[in-house]
Amino acid sequence: MNKIEQVTEWIRGSERVVFFGGAGTSTESGIPDFRSAAGLYRSAQGSGAPPEVMLSHTYFMEHPESFFEFYKKHMIYRDARPNAAHEALAALERAGKLAAVVTQNIDGLHQAAGSRVVYELHGSVHRNRCMACGAAYTLDEMLALPGVAPRCRACGGVVKPDVVLYEEPLDQDVWAGAVEAIRAADVLLVGGTSLTVYPAAGLVGELRGGKLVLMNREETSFDRRADAVVRGSVGEALRRVAEAIVADF
């Protein structure tokens, strides 16, 4: 039995599969991750400071215009569409196999594919809010606002994306939901994440006795803890799993 067949067998016998993913889940939709060879850490060299600085709360507050120049150029992909990974996870949820998606991504592609239970640990580019009056804006509305650092139409305050910047805490309700889902999982599929960003990466340690499966192109520091490591495309791995389990996928 190969690894995909083994994982498929575990999922067949499971009632609460949870997927925990990161930027690698969206690279096949054309959104670069941070740490791969084609990732933002290399392509954004020369943009000024490294991404952890440009995307930090301090930088946002002190240099909102440079922050938004970087953010709009490197973090927003309006034309990106769900890929096989997102589609397979949505199909597994519809089939009653997948209990939740926990994601570090901010691109909204799981919901675009039809997933309903999605814990967005780092927020979403699709929600934006005026820091002064609280007025809400969609992504397109925010992008249409005047100013490089967008200004609220109602009060002129700066409109901030609902994404968790470096130095900012995670939303406690989202975190609690993710922890609860992973504790109850009988199979945890982890895909497309280097598992280097904390506290998110610590969620793997919340698994209580369920099988741990890693689907990643590169090695991670959690590989030796896993029950199975599927090396390669997470889109391809999940497509094969969904084809084997969901009759009409």
Of 93-101, 128-136, 145-153, 230-238, which part binds ligand NAD (CB under 6 A)? Answer: 230-238
Return the bridge partners of 129, or none: 136, 160
Of residues 87, 94, 110, the one with CA closest to residue 236: 87
122: annotated active-site residue: yes
Q: Residue count at the site for ligand NAD (CB under 6 A)?
A: 28
**What minimum distance in Å lies between the beta carbon of 48 and ligand NAD?**
18
Judged by beta carbon, residue 8 or residue 233, the one nearer ligand NAD is: 233
Min dist. Cβ of residue 120 to ligand NAD (A): 9
Residue 113 parent element (H or E): helix 109-113
Q: Which is nearer to ligand NAD, 26 or 111 (CB)?
A: 26
If one asks whether residue 54 binds ligand NAD (CB under 6 A), the answer comes out as: no
Shortest distance, position 75 Cβ to ligand NAD, whole Å: 7
Among 64, 82, 161, 192, binds ligand NAD (CB under 6 A): 192
Convert 223-239 to b/e letters by CB count within 10 Å (16 or more is b). Answer: eeebebbbeebbbbbbb
Do 127 and 161 meet the contact criterion of CB atoms below 8 Å apart? yes
CA dihedral (202, 204, 208, 213) in degrees, to 10, reads -170
Catalytic hit among 74, 86, 110, 122 = 122
Q: How far is the CB of 15 from ligand NAD (least distance, A)?
A: 26
Distance CA 167, CA 165 (A): 6
Rounded to the nearest 10°, the torsion over CA 184, 190, 195, 200 is -40
What distance in Å separates the CA atoms of residue 138 and residue 244, rounded to the nearest whole number? 37
> Between residue 114 and residue 173, which ones bind ligand NAD under the rule CB under 6 A?
122
- In the region spanning residues 33 to 52, those forming contacts with ligand NAD, defined by CB under 6 A, are 33-36, 39
3, 6, 28, 135: which one binds ligand NAD (CB under 6 A)? 28
Give the integer Cα–Cα distance in Å for 3 and 70. 40
Binding stretches for ligand NAD (CB under 6 A): 22-24, 26-28, 31, 33-36, 39, 104-107, 122, 192-194, 196-197, 216-218, 233-235
- Just list the catalytic residues: 122
